Amino acid sequence: MATLGLTEGERESIERFEQEVVQPSMASLVILDFWADWCGPCKQFGPVLDKVASEYADKGVKLAKIDVDSDKLLAAQFRIQSIPTVYAIYRGQPVADLTNYRTESQLKKALDQLLTQLKIEPEGATPQAEIEPLIAMGEQVLSEGDAPRAVSIFRQIRDMAPDNPEVIGGLARSLIAASETDEAKEILDGLSPELANRPEITRAKAALEVASAPAADTGALKQRLAANPDDHEARFEFAAVKMASGDRDSAADALLEIIQRDRDWNEGVARKRFLQLLEAQGLEDPWSGAQRRRLSSILFT
């Protein structure tokens, strides 16, 4: 912003804007609130902004305020026509107009989306670029069947990024694969609602559900099925045992057999459990893709 021909007060205003908005926005998301003391809606919205900004401070969000009466030049530069006007600033540029997000929940939802899209890291956090190769290593080790080593890797990564949902989900699934289901459950149950709803966490919860089936005598279940192939309860229990033991193919086969014979049995529980099995494996996994095609061929033919 050019300063030639400006008053001393205007130059000070620009310098303050550089220090309080532009420079912090190079690494953080700055909520920029244009307000005035006489503005009633500003007084109502201000406490909401203060509260949310305080709660999101450790996620890489900062709050800056501009009094349109004191900083007329800045208000003019941003072409402010009414107040409150609230912008999200990143790397010195407006990236979103937050003015209409007047409730706490609306504002938080908008900030969550921006932080994710812009990949803004909390202050002092390990950059995602450093974490991703380590996560890939942990996932590779887990896929190769070395669950204890995967647990060790994910524990180390979590020390670096304690709130990263990919890391938490990977650690929980590794613990489940290592038969440490109690610790996995404790980790998953202790997460905030915001984290608990992330897809990486719901996948881990599905894996925990899959692994928590009680032990049963598969021999007895097979005898029941031999005597009555439509004993869906026995087949469903057989699938649960196979899921818990890690035999995903046999579990999928049993569930698909139930769906093919009676897709509405027990309010469609077999289909729900089948989808849970795919989620536990990972919806992007090639195996899951192949199983979805098998399900489609049953449902739509």
Reply yes or no on whether 39 is catalytic: yes
* Percent of the chain as helix, strand, coil, to the nearest 5: 65, 10, 25
Q: Which of 29, 42, 63, 211 is catalytic?
A: 42
- Diameter of the chain measured on Cα atoms: 95
Q: Dig out the tokens for 15 from the structure.
A: 């310098």
Distance CA 10, CA 72 (A): 9
119-138 CB burial, b ≥16 within 10 A, e <16: ebbbeebbeeeebeebbeeb
- CA distance to 76, 164, 200, 280, per residue, from 204 (Å): 51, 14, 7, 6
Distance CA 235, CA 231 (A): 6
Question: Residue 298, exposed/middle/buried by CB under 10 A (0-12, 13-18, 19+)?
Answer: middle
- CA distance to 188, 245, 277, 282, per residue, from 250 (Å): 27, 10, 12, 17
What does residue 215 show for φ and ψ, rounded to 5 degrees? -65, 150
- CA distance to 33, 157, 210, 212, per residue, from 245 (Å): 56, 27, 9, 10
Contact 243, 251 (CB under 8 A): yes
- Of 146, 142, 123, nearest to 134 (Cα)? 142
Q: Which of 21, 30, 31, 39 is catalytic?
A: 39
Q: Known catalytic residues?
A: 39, 42
